[in-house]
Amino acid sequence: MKKLIIFFFIVTTSVNAQTLFLEENFDYQTGTLSMITSSWVESPSGSTDINVAIGNLSYSNYQSSGIGKLILLNGGATGRSGVYRKFTQQSTIGTTVYWSFLLEVTSTVDMDTHTSNGDYFANFQNDAVSSLKNYLYIRQGNTVNTFNIGLAKSSATSLTWYPDDLLINTTYLIVLAYSFITGNSNDVSKLWINPSLIGTEPTADISITSGADASDIALIQFRQNEKSGDMKIDGIRVSDSWSQAPLPVQLTSFTAGLYENKIKLNWSTATEVNNYGFDIERCVAQISNLCNNWEKIGFVQGHGNSNSPKDYSFVDANPPAGKVLYKLKQIDFDGAFEYSKAVEVNVETPQEFRLAQNYPNPFNPSTVISYQLPMDGNVTLKVYDMLGKEVTTLVNEFQRAGSYNYQFSINNLQLSSGVYYYRLQSGNFVETKKFIVMK
């Protein structure tokens, strides 16, 4: 049953909600999707599964582009399985549910011909998993190397085809939407193919109101039907806002570079909506090249709302050795967040222990102490006075092999001018150097 609420609340939620219900980049091991993760449920069940495969799909300026892996749909016979994934149930008048994903058709051999009604391979469904809406249809185009996409709201009676042939082995951005409207049989189903990712929501390529309305929308579903053909699916996003489904904060670039044993991250945005800022996360890839142990290493404030390009940077002063990956967690003021794709830098492992002379020296009030570790281990870095009395401990922890830079400040220490010593120890390695505090 659709919930009717008073008008001023409709205005508030439509402007401020911008909730991302789910993002799926299939960053799992390969194999049967419904067996690898409990997030996806097999339905209907069948003899041919939907599988996760190596590779991903990319689309310029789309947030969920070129990340993780993808899934393969293999139509062409009856009795094949489908999968669905649930999200927060939606039914409020004034709400629109947007679903965007990347599609690449690899074969049309099993599809209906250009003059037929084709078959559907994707749809919305209600929480009871009993009522389908926004059927996404497909059929062969004018040649076996092309295909057509169509949309139906609640049955094939409303089926409407996008007028142009689309090419196989080409990645397309597909956006579906379902809007809950006051009254009966007038909710709106919409479809966009390769919409503009600049500015506000564009006019839909297909818009349908005829047909029975949904009681609610609570899941997305992919199917392998008899005439739905073969395809790749990737980069799924579901939201109640155009700006969170196909169009989040527009990250136009994100790069990482190594210099002086540090890694500098640079990124830019074209526009920003409700942008609180960015968490910077880091991970060191393991032997299998999987990166599951992400850690937050910093935060950079955003610009809130902006229609002009903005540039950002962050320096990782102590990157570990190995294949190091970085990604941005863009956070809205309401707590909603999005991840960027990862960038990687290969940091060579030092060949030997090394404790460098601090710089500047003499100094007041701060200096940088740099050192290198050729292997993982427990590390201590301490400061002593001329009589050998310990002044302070700067580092006392387990550290991975790599290059490190420690900024030492005397602001909170009662140190007089003079000569002091700093001592690095890791395993059997011990080295001491001196510096001068000048006030």
**Class (C level, CATH) for 7-239:** mainly beta
The string of pLDDT tens digits covering residues 69-124 is 999 999 988 889 999 999 999 999 999 999 999 999 999 999 999 999 999 999 99
Give the pLDDT score at 204: 97
Highest mean pLDDT among 9-13, 39-43, 261-265: 39-43
In this prediction, residues 307-312 reach a mean pLDDT of: 85
The three-class DSSP label of residue 235 is strand
CATH fold match for the domains 251-347 and 354-437: yes
CA distances from 211 to 115, 118, 137, 216, 364 (A): 23, 19, 16, 15, 76
Collapsed DSSP state (helix, strand, coil) of residue 16 = helix
Condensed to tens digits (0 to 9), the pLDDT of residues 316-344 reads 988 888 889 999 999 888 777 778 888 98
Are 419 and 387 in contact by the 8 Å Cβ rule? The answer is: no
CA distance 304 to 314: 18
Chain-centre distance for alpha carbon 315: 21
Q: Taking 80 as the threshold, does the pLDDT of residue 267 lie above it?
A: yes
* CATH number for region 354-437: 2.60.40.1930
Q: Please determine, for residue 291, whether its predicted confidence score (pLDDT) is greater than 80.
A: no
Q: Which residues contact 265 (CB under 8 A, 6 or more apart)?
A: 254, 255, 256, 280, 313, 314, 315, 316, 326, 343
Chain-centroid distance of CA 30 in Å reads: 19
pLDDT at 7: 28
End-to-end CA distance of the chain: 75
- pLDDT tens string 122-146: 999 999 999 999 999 999 999 999 9
The token pair that represents 36 in the structure block: 């690898």
pTM above 0.75, yes or no: no
Per-residue pLDDT tens for 164-216?
999 999 999 999 999 999 999 999 999 999 998 766 789 999 999 999 999 99
Q: Which residues contact 280 (CB under 8 A, 6 or more apart)?
A: 265, 296, 297, 298, 299, 300, 314, 316, 326, 328, 329
Closest CA to 126 of 97, 101, 150, 103: 97
Query: What's 359's DSSP letter?
Result: B
What pLDDT, in 10s, does the model give residues 352-384? 999 999 999 999 999 999 999 998 899 999 999
Query: Domain residue spans in the chain?
Result: 7-239, 251-347, 354-437
Mean pLDDT, rounded, of the chain: 89
Percent of the chain clearing pLDDT 70 (strictly above): 93
Q: What is the mean pLDDT of residues 4-8?
A: 29
Fold of 251-347: Immunoglobulin-like (2.60.40)
**What are the pLDDT digits (tens) for 18-64?**
688 998 999 999 999 999 999 999 999 998 999 999 999 998 778 78
What beta strand segments (E) does 246-353 contain? 251-259, 262-269, 272-284, 295-306, 310-316, 322-332, 337-339, 343-347
Q: Is the pLDDT of residue 288 over 60?
A: no
Note whether 405 and 260 are within 8 A (CB): no
